[in-house]
C-alpha cells in the first residue's frame, strides 16, 4: 500500500510540474502577445497624427492670444 501511495505522489508531483510549466509558457506567450498589440497600437496612433499639427496648434493659439489682447478680452484660453 505504501508503494502505490508513493507512485500516486510521484504522478501528482509530475502533473503539478507539468501544469506549472504550461502556465509559465502561457504567461510568456500572453505577455509577448500584449507587447505586440501595444506596438501595433502605438504605430497606428503615431501614423494617424498629422505631422505639422503641433506647429499649427501653437500658431493658432498665438493668433488667438493676440486677438484677445487686441480686443481687450481678459479671460485666458485655458479658462474658456
For the segment 7-56, what is each residue's pLDDT rounded down to a tens digit? 555 566 666 667 666 666 666 667 777 888 888 888 888 877 776 777 88
For the segment 55-71, what is each residue's pLDDT rounded down to a tens digit? 888 899 899 989 998 99
Nearest to 39 by CA among 51, 29, 31: 31
Kindly list the domain boundaries of the chain, sorted by start residue. 1-49, 50-80
Using CA atoms, how far residue 40 sits from 3, 14, 29, 34, 68, in Å, is 56, 39, 17, 10, 42
Amino acid at each position: 500500500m505504501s508503494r502505490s501511495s508513493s507512485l500516486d505522489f510521484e504522478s501528482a508531483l509530475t502533473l503539478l510540474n507539468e501544469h506549472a510549466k504550461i502556465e509559465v509558457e502561457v504567461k510568456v506567450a500572453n505577455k509577448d502577445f500584449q507587447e505586440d498589440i501595444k506596438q501595433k497600437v502605438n504605430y497606428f496612433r503615431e501614423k494617424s497624427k498629422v505631422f505639422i499639427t503641433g506647429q499649427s496648434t501653437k500658431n493658432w493659439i498665438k493668433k488667438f492670444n493676440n486677438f484677445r489682447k487686441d480686443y481687450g478680452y481678459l479671460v485666458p484660453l485655458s479658462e474658456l
